[in-house]
Amino acid sequence: MTRRNYIIRIMSRPHRPPIPLSEPQRRVLIQLRIEGTAPRTRLAQVLGMNGATVTRLTQSLLALGLIEERESPEAVARGRPLVPLTVSGRGGWAIGATPHPGWLELVLVDFRGRPLVHDTTPFDSPDPRVFARAVEARLQALAAAHGFMRGQFLGMGVAVPGYALSGDRNRRAVVDRVAGWDDVPLAEIIGDVLGMPVWIENDASVAGLAEYYQDGIIGRYRSVLTLFLGHGVGGGLIAERDLFLGEHGNAGEVGRLFPGHGDRPSGIDLLRTLRAEGVEVDSLADIDGLMATHRAIIDRWTDRVIEQLDLAVLSGIVWLDPGAIIVSGALPLPLLRRIADGLNAIGRRRGDKYRATLPPVLASTIGSKAVVIGAAMIPIHSITSHQAVI
């Protein structure tokens, strides 16, 4: 059996983490993601385990290549229990993919969640099988260029602009531009073409996952609400360090608060606003170049969007009690920062004498890439997730 056939064979069961871990192993791994680095003594203390148990667990994770030691002169001088441990990027790699109008986007991340390759290619088909074949062609080229087949492949997450049907997250009600994806078993269709495990999830939900794994977020907050302003508007929820999807897989469908026949806090709405003012603009990628020349129009739109999103923010605070709220999306990062600042200002002015701790509203640092990075994080997150599948 060739190495390629072996890799395909061990990846033939979609939705099952290829590295099965025990609950104690998962606890050690997620704690290292939270802290970045920690010695065995720190892990024992924070996890409530004895030293021998932590030693045994970390040895097994070291053998699997999921964590690694970081030598330091002080740690070596004082003994192995103080050698810092961290999640190893060599523990595996994963792919995220999503279709856009006229192009598809791919990213490959290592086990730490660091993007290794970001790739875009022309693509314009509503058929998921054509999408899968286009992804396969790009992966073959990237594998040849970067040698990724030498590593352990964990699977691919696909971000879909649509909500789950009948409680089955593999079947989606989607937008017209990917009409062939509507109400079909996407994981099976795409996975059969690629010969690998495939996870399907809403684009805003995976954006929330990507935002949560960013430095300064996962180590500080247990629960986070992400508002993603792309072509539409959606939400991603992290509750107690896990992706919260709800009973039917549609938690975070913020767009239902803003019916499509009216003004919406979405990228498509911004394009329509600009076009109504006589501005020639084709896509959200053009907005950055208009920030200076058409600032008055964009400022008026932004002020209205801040007022609209306050309802979603307040609802999220009431129901989730998150540690932070992140404004993400396909808009320019300065525009996301302005929206976040405006929402914070509304919160400060509310004056309702509410004395509990309120979450800060933060702006994304990765913007539109959150979707494809989050899709790639699904196979990795599934290894330490408390959920059986995502």
pLDDT along the chain (390 residues), means of 10: 38 53 95 95 96 96 94 60 91 93 94 95 94 94 78 86 86 90 95 91 96 95 96 94 93 90 92 95 92 96 97 94 97 97 93 87 96 97 70
Give the pLDDT of residue 198.
94
Close Cβ partners of 273 (under 8 Å, ≥ 6 residues apart): 297, 301
3-state DSSP helix/strand/coil percent for the chain, to nearest 5?
A: 45, 20, 30
pLDDT (tens digit, 9 = 90+) per residue, 367-386? 999 999 999 999 999 998 86
Residue at 135: amino acid letter: V
Measured in residues, the chain has a length of: 390
> Residue 356: how many CA atoms within 13 Å on its side-chain side?
7
DSSP characters over 311-374? HHHHHHHHHH--SEEEEEESS-HHHHHHHHHHHHHHHHH------S--PPEEE-SSGGGHHHHH
Interatomic CA distance for residues 10 and 181, integer angstroms: 27
- pTM for the predicted model, two decimal places: 0.90
Q: Which of these, 255, 211, 22, 244, lies nearest to 113 by C-alpha position?
A: 211
Q: What residues form DSSP beta bridges with 120?
A: 105
Give the pLDDT of residue 386.
65
Farthest CA pair distance, the chain:
70
Give the pLDDT of residue 149.
61
Give the pLDDT of residue 15.
44
DSSP characters over 176-229? GGGGGGBTS-HHHHHHHHHTS-EEEEEHHHHHHHHHHTSTTTTTT-S-EEEEEE
State the Rg of the chain over Cα.
Answer: 22
Q: What residues form DSSP beta bridges with 69?
A: 85
Domains belonging to the chain, first-starting first, are 3-90 (1.10.10.10), 91-208+372-380 (3.30.420.40), 215-365 (3.30.420.40)
Interatomic CA distance for residues 71 and 84, integer angstroms: 7
- Spatial contact of 83 and 75, defined as CB atoms under 8 Å apart: yes
Give the pLDDT of residue 85.
97
Close Cβ partners of 66 (under 8 Å, ≥ 6 residues apart): 19, 29, 87, 88, 91, 92, 111, 383
pLDDT (tens digit, 9 = 90+) per residue, 317-330? 999 999 999 999 99
Give the pLDDT of residue 97.
97
Give the pLDDT of residue 9.
36
Q: Indicate the helix (H) or strand (E) that contains 120.
A: strand 115-122
